[in-house]
């Protein structure tokens, strides 16, 4: 089993590049994640398989209001906002996972990402968590479960 906590710098790089390029958000590390943050968040998951028959799940959790602010600027129609919020968080988890595992290429070898999905397959308590703050007000939680 890989010690994911040692990859904190690589995760921060993946998150920073993704959010700065896609949402123009400033990313800061958050020292602690409170349960109140978790309750108001939307999640997206992606599975990653490796040559070694190992599989992990990476998820991101974002406040729904953050997603809505991104999407509503582009799509004023209320029905479109609902669909594009899901598409946006799925694209974010896909981009973060791809960037993160590409940064680890020499440690994990070749990898394959699934299509993002939104059904939880693991518990928070069994995961390695990385916590960030976007634009000083929006929490972002990334979990890795092996």
pLDDT digit string, tens, across residues 78-111? 877 888 888 999 999 999 999 999 998 767 678 8
| Predicted local distance difference test score (pLDDT) of residue 109 | 75
In whole angstroms, give the CA distance from residue 80 to residue 24: 22
Report the mean per-residue pLDDT for the chain. Answer: 85
Domains of the chain by range and CATH?
Answer: 4-145 (3.40.1550.10)
Percentage of residues in the chain with pLDDT exceeding 70? 87
pTM for the predicted model, two decimal places: 0.87
Cα-based distances in Å from 24 to 20, 83, 116:
4, 21, 22
pLDDT (average), residues 31-42: 65
Q: Which helix (H) or strand (E) holds 17?
A: helix 8-22
E strands in the chain: 27-29, 41-50, 55-63, 111-113, 128-134, 138-145
């Amino acid at each position: 089993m890989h010690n994911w906590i040692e990859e904190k710098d690589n995760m921060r790089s993946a998150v920073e590049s993704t959010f700065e390029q896609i949402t123009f958000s400033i990313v800061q590390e958050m020292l602690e994640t409170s349960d109140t943050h978790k309750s108001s968040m939307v999640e997206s998951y992606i599975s990653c398989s490796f040559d070694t028959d190992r599989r992990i799940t990476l998820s991101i959790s974002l406040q729904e209001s953050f997603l809505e602010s991104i999407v509503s600027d582009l799509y004023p129609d209320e029905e479109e906002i609902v669909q594009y919020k899901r598409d946006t968080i799925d694209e974010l988890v896909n981009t973060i996972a791809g960037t993160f595992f590409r940064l680890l290429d020499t440690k994990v070898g070749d990898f394959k990402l699934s299509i993002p999905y939104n059904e939880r397959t693991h518990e928070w308590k069994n995961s390695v968590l990385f916590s960030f703050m976007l634009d000083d007000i929006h929490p972002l939680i990334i979990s890795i479960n092996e």
